A = this chain, B = another copy of it.
Amino acid sequence: MGASKTHIFNYSQNTLAVMAKVLAHPARIAILEHIHKHESCMCNDLVGITGLSQPTISQHLTEIKKVGLLKASFIGKNLFYSLNQEKWIALQIPFNTLFTKLNKTPNKTTNEN
A: residues with CB less than 8 A from B are 4-6, 8-9, 13-14, 16-17, 20-30, 32-33, 36-39, 50-52, 83, 85, 88-89, 92, 95, 98-99, 101-103, 105-106, 112-113
- Shortest C-beta distance, A27 to chain B (Å), equals 7
CA of A112 to CA of B36, assembled, Å:
12
A98 to B37, CA, bound (A): 12
Task: Enumerate chain B residues within 8 angstroms of A21, measured Cβ to Cβ.
Answer: 20-21, 24
Number of copies: 2
DSSP majority for the A interface?
A: helix
In the complex, what residues of B have CB within 8 A of residue A25's CB? 4, 17
B37→A9 contact, CB < 8 A = no
